[in-house]
Structure 1
Amino acid sequence: MDWTLTPETALADRNATTINPFWKSQVTTGEFTGLGGVTVHYAWCCPANAHTTVVISSGRIESLLKYKELIYDLWHNGFAVFIPDHRGQGLSGRMTSDPQHGFVHKFDDYVDDLLQFIDDIVMPHAPAPLTLLCHSMGGAIGTLTMLREPERFERAVLASPMFGVRPALPDWVAKGLINAGLTLNRLRRKDAGYFFGQTPYVAYPYALNKLTHSEVRYRLFRELYDEDKRIQLGGVTTEWLSAAQQAMDTIEAQAEKMTTPTLLFSADDDKIIDNDRQRSVAKRMPNLHLEVVAEAYHELFTEADEYRTPVLNKTLSFLQGGSILK
């Protein structure tokens, strides 16, 4: 089935004339207090006669504000949409003295927030079957959530899920660098510190980006982050990377227990994710269908139309109840 999606050629104009007015008139925003007193920001919208409810788990550094186009497309096609900003990023609360730190104590904190969001915000308003849509780090969070509560979602879509990251260093090297960084931060009496080579927020020009082939979507993303500095986030801290490694190891160790019907899109020219590990883990998950998106970069939901359109057509059809093709 072909769904009604926003084309790149119309995006700049539609963003101003349709999507932003839709956000003001149809989207409800709010906050709740998560574990440790951290404020978690969220947004949701529900069209009349919604046929499916989708919860979005976004990637690292992302804010729900970056998802306006996707949320509009989902809503316009009859999906009720709910999305939180993960703790430590977007409009949600920070946990270190530097608001640009990419930081979390452990990925279970993300999972706790997501489940609280579903219980307190989604379920009172959800009009239809509950499904999950994840990108990158959000794919790791979503997978951990499904491992903890296998019956929570009827089905899930994972786009470029973070089951491994690049560069794919030997395990002993990665753990050695992480332990060295953690020790250094303790000696400096810092609550957290950037991992080696990581920096505060940098707005790379389109020509140097490895996230998307879509110049207009990349430009709108950077303009958004330039206009609202609250959502800017720098590189990962050693503490975040340590938590991420533990999360990815857990997913790999428990892959066979992931039984939720799942459609996974692997971007073949991904410069962020270790696709070898990702696909190896994915192939051990029962009830999962893996699709490789040839030549695509990491951000499939903001990719050029030649990649985004077929991915979203399959995503929406699957979330609505379509079968996994074997």
Structure 2
Amino acid sequence: MSQYVLCSETDLESVYANVIQPFWQNSVKSGIFTGIDKVDIAYAFVLHPNALGTIVISTGRIESLIKYKEVVYDLYQNGYSVFIHDHRGQGLSGRMLGNPQIGYVASFNDYVADFKQFMDEVVLKKSHHKPNLLCHSMGGAIGALMVWRYPELFGKVAFSAPMFGIRPPLPTWFAKFLLRLHLTVNTNDGYFFSQKNYDPVPFCSNELTHSEIRYQIFRQEYQNAPQVQLGGVSGHWLKAATIAMEEIEHNAPSFPIAALVIQAGADQIVDNKRQSRVVAKMARTRLLVIDGSHHELLAEQDKYRVPCLSAILDFLKG
């Protein structure tokens, strides 16, 4: 039993329709700013009237702020103002390629530049608390880079299944060979080998979560807003991600603020071995493993999600 007020799978279908959706429509504000290279960046926020603090969320690849309605609601119910934006090339933000389904970024530095602009133009102007950072997956790589470059911005950072390494389906040497080959023969930023447009995988085949209701809500949100749908990655995105992850591991010993890393024990998306190796090098950082959980810790079954969110809220409050 958690001391915090968190949604439950038991009645989530009803709560989502009758409480969370009206909360999002009536209380959450949204907007757009122009990021670097004139790419529109979408964001949303909710201000708690008696806020204990402020939490800024950095989302994962293919994700959109509309996927985080339950998370934002839970954080608000526990006393926090919450800010979230969609990274360039995904969600409600602008796409950079002719095929908007292809996951692309020129450099993770562009994600960081947009994030800094979001902090300066939105978060810091509307929040009176020093914000804490909550990151998931790819958002963890972006968040880590943000913390190193702007250590004064955040009080603490909590990472959910951070992308400090990607779990390759092939041996590392062969994956690197394929990436070099792809970038040599493909100059138009097309999909990397085997990648394709958005594909709503059936729940029984998904590797993201054990929670059928949360998975179905996620897919329904993306069906209702097809503009947020995103397919696989380009070779260029994969190269940019590789550079970012190498930078994170290289700089790990100098991590400047208190951090909590929550690892999904049964993660099939990120590389837990490399994640553990990086975390072991990180200063001021604690690792918590949620045994049995799939990658989507923030959208998992209650038996995984409640300990995860409780640990995050304990850490931010402590």
Instruction: Please say whether Structure 1 and Structure 2 have the same fold, judged by a TM-score greater than 0.5.
Output: yes
Q: 1:201 aligns with which of 176, 188, 198?
A: 198
Residue in structure 2 matched with residue 238 of structure 1 by the alignment: 235
Contact kept in structure 2, 1:168 and 1:274, CA below 8 Å: no
Q: 1:227 aligns with which of 217, 221, 224?
A: 224
Residue in structure 1 matched with residue 60 of structure 2 by the alignment: 59
Residue in structure 2 matched with residue 119 of structure 1 by the alignment: 120
Q: How does 1:258-273 map to 2 (within 5 A)?
A: 258-273=255-270
Structure 1 residue 176: deviation in Å?
A: 2.1
1:144 and 1:169 map into 2 onto residues whose CA distance is 27
Identity %: 48
Q: 1:286 aligns with which of 283, 286, 299?
A: 283
Structure 1 residue 174: deviation in Å?
A: 3.0
Q: How does 1:1-326 map to 2 (within 5 A)?
A: 2-167=3-168, 171-186=172-187, 190=188, 192-320=189-317, 322=318
SS in 2 for 1:241: helix
1:208 and 1:169 map into 2 onto residues whose CA distance is 20
2:143 and 2:3 map into 1 onto residues whose CA distance is 26
Equivalent AA in structure 1 for residue 134 of structure 2:
L
Structure 1 residue 127: deviation in Å?
A: 2.5
SS in 2 for 1:53: strand
Structure 1 residue 228: deviation in Å?
A: 1.1
Structure 1 residue 255: deviation in Å?
A: 0.6
1:249 and 1:172 map into 2 onto residues whose CA distance is 15
**Runs (5+) with no aligned partner, structure 1:** none
4+ residue segments displaced more than 6 Å: none
1:242 and 1:120 map into 2 onto residues whose CA distance is 30
Contact kept in structure 1, 2:45 and 2:83, CA below 8 Å: yes
**Runs (5+) with no aligned partner, structure 2:** none
Tell me the number of residue pairs that the alignment of Structure 1 and Structure 2 aligns: 317
Equivalent AA in structure 2 for residue 110 of structure 1:
Y
Structure 1 residue 285: deviation in Å?
A: 0.3
Structure 1 residue 175: deviation in Å?
A: 2.8
Contact kept in structure 1, 2:168 and 2:175, CA below 8 Å: no
Contact kept in structure 2, 1:262 and 1:289, CA below 8 Å: yes
SS in 2 for 1:254: helix
SS in 1 for 2:54: strand
2:214 and 2:5 map into 1 onto residues whose CA distance is 18
1:95 and 1:203 map into 2 onto residues whose CA distance is 23
Equivalent AA in structure 1 for residue 22 of structure 2:
P
Deviations 1:225-264 (A, max 9, x none): 1121101000011010000000000001111111210000
Deviations 1:47-67 (A, max 9, x none): 111011010000000000000
Contact kept in structure 2, 1:54 and 1:82, CA below 8 Å: yes
Pick closer, same or farther for the CA change 1:169–1:205 going to 2, 3 Å: closer
1:85 and 1:17 map into 2 onto residues whose CA distance is 25
Equivalent AA in structure 1 for residue 184 of structure 2:
T
Structure 1 residue 168: deviation in Å?
A: 6.7
Contact kept in structure 1, 2:56 and 2:83, CA below 8 Å: yes
Deviations 1:49-97 (A, max 9, x none): 1011010000000000000000001111110100000000000000000
1:74 and 1:173 map into 2 onto residues whose CA distance is 42
Equivalent AA in structure 2 for residue 264 of structure 1:
V
Deviations 1:151-177 (A, max 9, x none): 221100000000001117555433321
Contact kept in structure 2, 1:47 and 1:75, CA below 8 Å: yes
Equivalent AA in structure 1 for residue 156 of structure 2:
R
